Amino acid sequence: MSQDNILIVDDDVEIRTLLSRYLQAQGFRVREAAGKRECEAILAMHTPDLVVLDVMLPDGSGLDVCRALAHTEPPVAVILLTALKEDVDRIVGLELGADDYIGKPFNPRELVARIRAVLRRHTGERSPETQFQIFAFGAFEVDPQLRRVLRDNEEVVLTGAEFALLMVFLERPGRLLSREQLLEFTQSGRERSPFDRSIDVLMSRLRRKLGDTDAGPVFKTVRNGGYQMTLPVRAVLVGR
């Protein structure tokens, strides 16, 4: 049974109580915070594995908390709780480094599935066949087990969602991947809107962080097709 630490940040006591009881029944260790200040006090003493974070808090914005968590080392995973119509907050949250979001009202079972998927991405669980592979392209080296990206031996810090998206391309070198395929590979099991822009937001962030290379951009956009990695990828087996 999982012993991951989850912090629930929401000013609705009924939601906090329901989620806390449900997550504890699923084997998680849970702490609760009713607002931004209480959340920051807990974070000053404890580092959770994942934060379930309401965007609208009585004493500040959950997006400010999300921004701060993205700059911790290592970054703390974040799932945002948003109202169904808060599209702007969802997009901003993804830009700030959130790993996923779920709209209120939601099914606790779905949230647990999202939590486990995000935690898997953060812990870098891989099959034995790929566990000791390092991917190289251009001036980059990517270690899936350590979840580390190096450019000319300098680390490029990615969020869990950005790293998961990069791995989709590295494991399928040269393939043109549609937005629908990328959503399926990175957010399997989640209900998606045909207007879901999360992949475009993540691609924009990933491009900005990786930058261009001497051979040109790392990715190209194919109109009505999707995205494609332009650089050749080498997979190198290493031992540890």
Run means of pLDDT, 10 residues per run, the chain, 240 residues: 82 92 91 94 91 93 88 83 70 82 86 88 54 81 87 89 91 88 74 66 92 84 90 75
Q: Is the CA virtual torsion 191, 169, 162, 27 positive or negative?
A: positive
The angle formed by the CA atoms of residues 128, 133 and 137, to the nearest 5 degrees, is: 150
C-alpha atoms less than 13 angstroms from C-alpha of 60 in its C-beta half-sphere: 16
The CATH T-level fold of domain 5-123 is: Rossmann fold (3.40.50)
CATH 3.30.420.10 fits 133-237, yes or no: no
pLDDT at 53 (0 to 100):
94
- Quote the CA–CA distance of 221 and 218 in Å, as a whole number: 10
E strands along 84-173, which residues?
Answer: 100-104, 133-137, 140-143, 148-151, 154-155
With 0-12 CB in 10 A as exposed, 13-18 as middle and 19+ as buried, what is 39? buried
**Tokens describing residue 168:** 């989709």
- The residue extents of the domains of the chain are 5-123, 133-237
